[in-house]
């Protein structure tokens, strides 16, 4: 059922994304077009403290025109190891430094039109340092009890896919 690229071109080349329009050969022999957003990917970190509280960040997301609750995360630089990006983003956004990260898994957040991959980690052995926001970041971070976070998901207050997936990976890890 594989589609094969016949040819393609870049139709947008931005700072964070690149958009391709590819002509493909479908499994039935017909040709079609695919518009694909290329993104270097990202890394997210689930930090759960000894009191079973989860660290969430709240920030305004322009695309949705609302504040969202999410696990700390950020985009990968070109060819960057997701592990180190996760360490960096956790400290930059929340002022928490992890001595180790446990890999939880990866997700494809928008597989219909993007090649983005988000790598998810569980932070272990953390200590408080200081935040170091990018100049265009405005982020609040707080710990929330696990049962409160689950209710926030159920009630639609948490909509972010990487956050929901990280919690599900964590629940599977705990067995």
Which residue numbers are catalytic?
135
The closest alpha carbon to 168, from 98, 86, 107, 100, belongs to 107
In degrees and rounded to multiples of 5, residue 174 shows phi and psi of: -70, -20
Which 3 state secondary structure label does DSSP give 146? helix
Q: Residue 140 and residue 12: Cα distance in Å, rounded?
A: 32
Distance, in Å, from the CA atom of 40 to the CA atom of 21, rounded to the nearest integer, reads 18
Say which DSSP state 78 is in.
Answer: T
């Amino acid at each position: 059922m594989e589609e094969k690229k016949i040819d393609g071109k870049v139709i947008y080349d931005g700072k964070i994304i690149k958009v391709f329009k590819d002509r493909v050969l479908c499994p039935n022999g017909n040709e079609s077009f695919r518009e694909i957003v290329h993104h270097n990917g990202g890394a997210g970190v689930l930090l759960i403290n000894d009191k079973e509280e989860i660290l969430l960040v709240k920030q305004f997301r322009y695309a949705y025109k609302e504040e969202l609750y999410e696990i700390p995360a950020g985009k990968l630089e070109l060819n960057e190891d997701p592990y180190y990006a996760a360490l960096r983003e956790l400290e930059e956004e929340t002022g928490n430094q992890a001595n180790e990260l446990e890999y939880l898994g990866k997700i494809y957040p928008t597989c219909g039109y993007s090649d983005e991959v988000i790598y998810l980690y569980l932070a272990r052995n953390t200590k408080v340092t200081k935040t170091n926001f990018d100049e265009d970041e405005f982020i609040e971070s707080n710990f929330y009890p696990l049962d409160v976070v689950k209710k926030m998901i159920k009630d639609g207050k948490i909509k972010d896919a990487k956050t929901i997936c990280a919690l599900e990976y964590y629940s599977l890890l705990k067995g």
